[in-house]
Structure 1
Amino acid sequence: SKSGTSFNVGSNDLGISMARNNSAKEIETKFGAANFSYNPLPTWTVSGFAIINSNRTEMETVTRNVLLDPITGEPETIQDTEETSDQKNEFALFKLSSSYKRNKDLQFDYDMLMKTSNQEEFNALFSTVRPETSQSQDIYTTKKQKPFSFSQNMNLYYTLDDKNIFALEVQHLYQDEDPLYNANLANNPFPDIPGVPSLSLGLEPAARFDISQERFVKTNKVDAKLDYYYMVTAKSSVNVTLGNTYSYQNFNSSIFQTLDGGAENSLNDNTKNDVDYAFNDVFVGLHYRFIKGKFEVNPGVSLHNYNVFNDQLGSRVEQNFIRVLPDVFAQLQLKKMERITYNYSMSTDFTDVSDFARGLVLNNYKSLFQGNRNLRNGLYQNHTLGYFKYNMFNFTQIYGGLTYSHRMDAIKNLSAFNGINQVSTVDNSDFADETISGSAGYNRSFAKYYKASANVSMSWNKFNNFRFDETGAIGSEISIENSVRQLTEQFTQRYSGSFATNFKDIPNLELGYTLLLNDYADNKFYTHTPFAKMDYYFLDAFTITADYSYNHYYNDEKTVDNEFDFLNANIMYRQPDSKWEFKVGGTNLFNTGSLNDDSFNQFSTRTSRYRVQPRYLLLSIRYNL
């Protein structure tokens, strides 16, 4: 942001699965919406909308997770799972907006957004683990949550005269989260660790281990910023910024065990959290913008006074410091529709309360997390170079961009593994993470009715990861000092091209091809996707649309190799000026059974195949009031 501070309130939801590509084994949805707009005065507009949605989703997923050796990068532990899930989600969203513009010199905008939901997910999975076959078992999990959020935005713009302009922006967020998680396992996932009481839960022997966790997280966050602009000349201006970001959060959690007879084991004290966390940033910024010939330059600097503290375990850990953060924007206007831009920014990055909670948190059936109350902020630098050109005569568009980011003192996960079971914490890394990404594109219309496009994007990431060295630090707490540093690189490439028509009286076609390459820690995945689209409007009433894609997904070792295609089509009838609309649509007309995807994190690779809905037809009738 312009202030130079990055502080984002994290989500404490339970990671309830979403349908990928709008596809799942079965989806049932009920949806309703309404909106209004009203002008009490010619200068005042009030508008709003409400959305209510209810859906039930069934999913079946087959997944392989491969845990990598921190030294060699070779597979260390392999987990194969077959999972079914049943999700229920009731969601409501309400927004109210007001805009008052007395004249060109004064404008006041306000909007509020309220979101609430009731979510449940029930999962049953069978897990096979190699070589730790004793961890193979059937597992049942339940996730429930009713998150609520209320946000407000207020903007005031006032022009005093030709040289003096004021802008005030204020945002407020209130968020209340209450996730409940339960896991029922055949085996004890986290047996007590001798000599490390802070990582021992105190689970009692049972026929099945029934473990639950309650979490309650409340957030109040206010961002306020006042900008003053003084126009020195017609081509230069000074901008002074005064601002404040304040956030207060409370994190409360507890883990407990339900024994075979129904009694409750409240476990050790280290499975409880009651944390208050406050973040305060008061800053002043100064920018000077000027235009000289074809150049526009806007350098600036901001001065920040930070105060951060967390209260827990009967004590407070506090940080107070001052930091100067520079930024610059520059643009070279080569022609009217051709320019080169450059952005540089240095930002201070802060995390929210979840990473500071010292008590153990149950992330899922195989993952425990313990926060670090002594975390520091990260320091990030970003460079972005962009090029854009547009020719109105032949409708040619050329664009490209290059971004480099350098992250120091980044907050990193440190993990100890026992087979697939993981205990982790976070700490600041003295080693820099780096990212280089670039993209380029070319679009052109020619011969009046044809259009061609080509796009390419690449991203290279270097991560410093840390694995707890159990052999060299038996009985020790997890820390960077007794962890093995693992340098991991990720390289992603995407190439696409298409050719399309733009006729008025005959069907229009688009033919294209996309190639996606993902290189995750010496694991290469490829996806080849030729595709075709068609639309045709005829007899002043009928519209036919269709889209087809073929996907070939595999890895370089061919341990994953899957082909699937999708065809969707619709025909719609609507007379000009008619309020009635009739539509028949078909989805997954080739009756494809499953889709694939892959992902990568600092410790493992993941490939999955998930079931999708079979072929179905839908008739819809619409009437506009």
Structure 2
Amino acid sequence: MLKYFLLLSIFLFTPNLYSQKYSLTGIVTDSLLKPLAYTNILAKPLSKELDMAFAISDEKGRYKLVLKANESYTVTVSYLGFQSKNFDINLDTNITKNIYLKPSTNLLDEVIIINPVTIKQDTIIYETKVFMTGTERKLKQVLKKLPGVEVDKNGGVTVLGKKVNKLLVDGKPFFGGGTKLGVENIPADAIEGIEVIDNYNEVAFLKGISGSDKMVMNIKLKKDKKRFTFGDIEVGAGTDKHYLAHPTIFYYSPKTNINFIGDVNDIGVKSFTIKDYLDFEGGIGKMFSDPSSYFQLSKNAFSNFLGNQDFKNGKNKFGALHLTQAINDKWDVSSYAIFSKTQNKTQNETQNQYLSESNNLIEDKTENGLIDNSFFMAKLALDYIPNSTNDISYSAFFKSSTNENTNNISSLTQNILNNLNTNSDDKTITLKQNAEWHKKISRKHTSSLTINYQYDKSNPKNYWLTNQPILQGLIPLQNDLEFNINQIKNLQTHNLSLLFKHYWVLNNSNHVYTTIGNNLLHDNYTTNDFQKLSNNTINNFNTAGFGNDLALNINDLYIGVQHKFKIGIITVKSGIAAHYYQWKVNQSTKVNRDKWLWLPNFLTKIEFSKSEKINFNYNLMNSFADAPKYANKFQLSRYNAVIRGNENLENELYHSAKLSYTKFSLYRGIIINGNVGYTKRIKTIRNQIQLQGINRFSSPILTENPETQWQFRGNLRKTFGKVIVKAKSNLTLSDYFQEVNGILSKNKSNSKGFGLEIATNFKQWPNIEIGYNKNFNSFSTSNNSSKFTNENPYINIEYDFLKGFILMADYSRNNYLNNNNQKNNYEIANASLFYQKEDSAWGFKINGTNILNAKFKNENSFSEFIISDQRTYILPRIWLFTLTYKL
């Protein structure tokens, strides 16, 4: 594979061989010879056929411009507060030219110069028109052309290696702030510029004292879009009656913003994914999204279907409406509503190898499923800023979902065939409310108060219909013509949290933060498992130890203090929090306990320069299990699994540490990111597992067996003119103890991998991304071990040609090999051709997905008791013709 990289590298560098280029280098200083960091140097060619070149000086004032030989350029050097300098140059060799700037005597008379990139303190400003060719359709294509910015296939954005946490449009969150909807839908021709703000805080006077590490991206709209309706409408039809409709409509004015995004298709495109859902989940309030005092509760089942991206047939309907209104200069109202409905047909073939000391049992399983899910979510937010020292906000969030899943399962074990029909039906409701008040009392004292309330209700129903008795010895089945097993569960959760935090600025180098709060959780959880006989009588499992009726209360009262100080380039924040926990478990038996915990935390930041930083973070973490793990009676979890909770569970406790390093140099065109994570569990909850063939019984216990995990990640990005080379690596080492069939064994899991990519950023040539990823995984227990490798070569092509045509294509191959020499391979290819005449509102597109008509994908997984090899069937080849109209 590496030889292909070498050949492609030669191909990618070929355009540069047709024209000789030379370098203009030097140092930019003031009149006292002090280097001026982040000075903009812009070279405008006299020939209209050449691209503009630009550079930004580094901390030492160094710059480098690469210009075409024997061509004339006008070079402009600009720095805020200094007089700009202009000179003409024509290179026939590499030369060095140092530049001296004089302080500006009259800022009002300065000529406004458009700098491609401006860096000041925590903000990077991109003038997007310098990088755009005019063929870009959406924000995603614009971002890919900006230096230091990367966009992944899921719509996630990173800048200089750091993740963008929130997306703003003209300073306001776009649909809650998640990046995907904005990246894939905001029209490119509406964008004036892009700002990236690090260490962002929604409350202006908390910036610099709250310690926020968030990064946001703000999209600035063109002036003619400030009171204008824009967007586009896309409709398509294809082979086998496939269809697509995708309208995006935006209205922006100084006080009112309205955005609508719609999507109806049956080609497997999901406008809303699990990542988007989690982004919206975390966006309820301004203040503390995850304070250390909060219980770490598991996510509900609502998110499960959002992650399913592979199916034989899929229909998706999506609609999102976003409204913001500035009532006056003190009041702002923001709201959004999102609806999504998916109907998918799935087919999976799985081979499960169940591991035990006595023998390894093989199960061959085929599943055909129908998934029908819908959800609605809405948020209302009110912001009141009466003056520069007060910030008051209220938000309410509502979510409801209906998730239905029907499966036909064929399970073959030891020549015994079992056919099952399963059905699950889950209706959930969530209501969140948040109120916050931030007050700057004086220059030295600032306080914040937040109150959060969340209500969740879920009532999942599960049904299993089978021709053979299942879970024999675990559930009390009565003989019948067929076995109809039912389960009804109900879970209601109330969570009320209050948090007060005071910031005391002793001086510029010393801050003291005090936190007082309380978090109250109340859960009601019931289960009812039974068999419905063919004569319509009920065989209730309660007599065999089933039927849970649990009330769980957990309260956390805490107080904490932190001291933050800065010495030179080093910032240290250390603290400790005292937590008084009380929990009550009320069911057939009652448990009433309490305890004190002291949780220290420590943070160190070393900032060698704006472009080079080291962070170290340590926390002693604590978490409680969710309600089902405390329910002490049996309950069904799958057609081959029964679980029982443990009312005597206590909290988990573990050390968590992370060391990260970041360095970038626009002068050298290099970005480096690396981090090391370490987790050591002192107390942890693990399941005791009993295997009987393919059947499984498990129950959680609190153990003090040592568990550790190391994580190493590194990324390198280097630019060579118009060619970008990326390299990444990862290594995860973990070990833990697990009890299976009464035998305690130490399990080890190792995962390591690397990736290489070469990409181009030409304006007149095809742009190509070619990459190769390889991962090595191993898992071992006391008597079994499993190893497998995955490799993934891929290539993406984008080519703008003939004044209006855009060709896009991608290809990827996945190769799997395990230690038994089993191999699985599949290839996926997609392509599209788009045409839009300049100054025309109409566009035409031919799009082909899964062109090679791959039938399925392969996935592999392992755990302490099972190794799975799964084949997932996917959508067939689809050709689609699309018509677009730009508003």
Q: For residues 368-383 of structure 1, what are the structure 2 equivalents within 5 Å?
A: 368-383=642-657
Output the CA distance in 2 between the equivalents of 1:42 and 1:569. 49
Secondary structure of residue in 1 paired with 2:744: strand
Out of 575, 582, 585, the residue aligned to residue 300 of structure 1 is 575
Output the CA distance in 2 between the equivalents of 1:162 and 1:104. 12
> What's the CA shift for 1:78?
1.5
Secondary structure of residue in 2 paired with 1:241: strand
Which range moves more in the overlay, 173-182 or 260-269?
A: 260-269
Which residue is equivalent to 1:529? 792
CA contact (8 A) 2:510 2:566 kept: yes
Matched, 1:612 2:871: no
Which range moves more in the overlay, 590-599 or 530-539?
A: 530-539
Q: For residues 88-99 of structure 1, what are the structure 2 equivalents within 5 Å?
A: 88-99=372-383
CA contact (8 A) 1:455 1:497 kept: yes
Q: Give a deviation string over 1:113-164, Cα, whole Å, max 9, x none.
A: 222121211111211114xx44x31111111111111223333322112101
Q: What TM-score does the superposition give when structure 2 sets the normalisation length?
A: 0.65
CA contact (8 A) 2:705 2:736 kept: no
Q: For residues 238-387 of structure 1, what are the structure 2 equivalents within 5 Å?
A: 238-269=512-543, 270-313=545-588, 315-387=589-661
Which residue is equivalent to 2:342? 55
Q: Give a deviation string over 1:279-310, Cα, whole Å, max 9, x none.
A: 11010010000001121110100001111111
- Going by fraction, where is helix more abundant, 1 or 2? 2
> What's the CA shift for 1:421?
0.7
Which residue is equivalent to 1:600? 862
> What's the CA shift for 1:56?
1.0
- The aligned amino acid for 1:486 is S
Instruction: Summarize the Cα distance change of 1:547–1:593 in structure 2 as closer, same or farther, 3 Å threshold.
Output: same
Which residue is equivalent to 2:352? 65
CA contact (8 A) 1:16 1:143 kept: no
Output the CA distance in 1 between the equivalents of 2:376 and 2:290. 33
Which residue is equivalent to 1:13? 301
- The aligned amino acid for 1:616 is I
- The number of residues matched between the two structures is 594
Secondary structure of residue in 1 paired with 2:548: strand
Output the CA distance in 2 between the equivalents of 1:262 and 1:58. 31
- Going by fraction, where is strand more abundant, 1 or 2? 1
The CA RMSD over aligned residues, in Å, is 2.1
Output the CA distance in 1 between the equivalents of 2:655 and 2:561. 19
CA contact (8 A) 2:305 2:373 kept: no
Out of 404, 409, 416, the residue aligned to residue 120 of structure 1 is 404
Which residue is equivalent to 1:493? 752
Which range moves more in the overlay, 436-445 or 567-576?
A: 567-576
CA contact (8 A) 2:382 2:393 kept: yes
Instruction: Summarize the Cα distance change of 1:122–1:319 in structure 2 as closer, same or farther, 3 Å threshold.
Output: same
Secondary structure of residue in 2 paired with 1:268: helix
Q: Give a deviation string over 1:235-286, Cα, whole Å, max 9, x none.
A: 1100000111111110011001011223221223421111110111010010
Secondary structure of residue in 2 paired with 1:354: helix
Secondary structure of residue in 2 paired with 1:41: coil
**Identity score, percent:** 25
Out of 138, 141, 147, the residue aligned to residue 422 of structure 2 is 141
Secondary structure of residue in 1 paired with 2:301: coil
Matched, 1:506 2:765: yes
Which residue is equivalent to 2:318? 31
CA contact (8 A) 2:356 2:740 kept: no
Out of 451, 462, 472, the residue aligned to residue 191 of structure 1 is 472
- The aligned amino acid for 1:13 is A
CA contact (8 A) 1:64 1:606 kept: yes
Output the CA distance in 1 between the equivalents of 2:527 and 2:644. 12
> What's the CA shift for 1:616?
0.5
Gaps of 5+ in 1: 193-199, 469-482
Q: For residues 145-184 of structure 1, what are the structure 2 equivalents within 5 Å?
A: 145-184=426-465
Output the CA distance in 2 between the equivalents of 1:290 and 1:433. 34
Q: For residues 200-239 of structure 1, what are the structure 2 equivalents within 5 Å?
A: 201-239=475-513
CA contact (8 A) 1:340 1:388 kept: yes
> What's the CA shift for 1:19?
6.2
Output the CA distance in 2 between the equivalents of 1:147 and 1:619. 38
Q: Give a deviation string over 1:578-625, Cα, whole Å, max 9, x none.
A: 665543322111111110111222221211011101000233444566
CA contact (8 A) 2:580 2:595 kept: yes
Which residue is equivalent to 2:739? 466
Q: Whose Rg is larger?
A: 2
CA contact (8 A) 1:171 1:222 kept: yes
Output the CA distance in 2 between the equivalents of 1:3 and 1:16. 25
CA contact (8 A) 2:363 2:413 kept: yes
Instruction: Summarize the Cα distance change of 1:575–1:146 in structure 2 as closer, same or farther, 3 Å threshold.
Output: farther
Instruction: Summarize the Cα distance change of 1:523–1:296 in structure 2 as closer, same or farther, 3 Å threshold.
Output: same
Matched, 1:454 2:719: no
Output the CA distance in 2 between the equivalents of 1:36 and 1:226. 31
Output the CA distance in 2 between the equivalents of 1:190 and 1:25. 31
More contact order relative to length (CA 8 Å, sep ≥ 6) = 1
Out of 416, 427, 436, the residue aligned to residue 701 of structure 2 is 427
Gaps of 5+ in 2: 1-288
Q: Give a deviation string over 1:149-196, Cα, whole Å, max 9, x none.
A: 12233333221121011122333221111110011223322334xxxx
Instruction: Summarize the Cα distance change of 1:97–1:572 in structure 2 as closer, same or farther, 3 Å threshold.
Output: farther
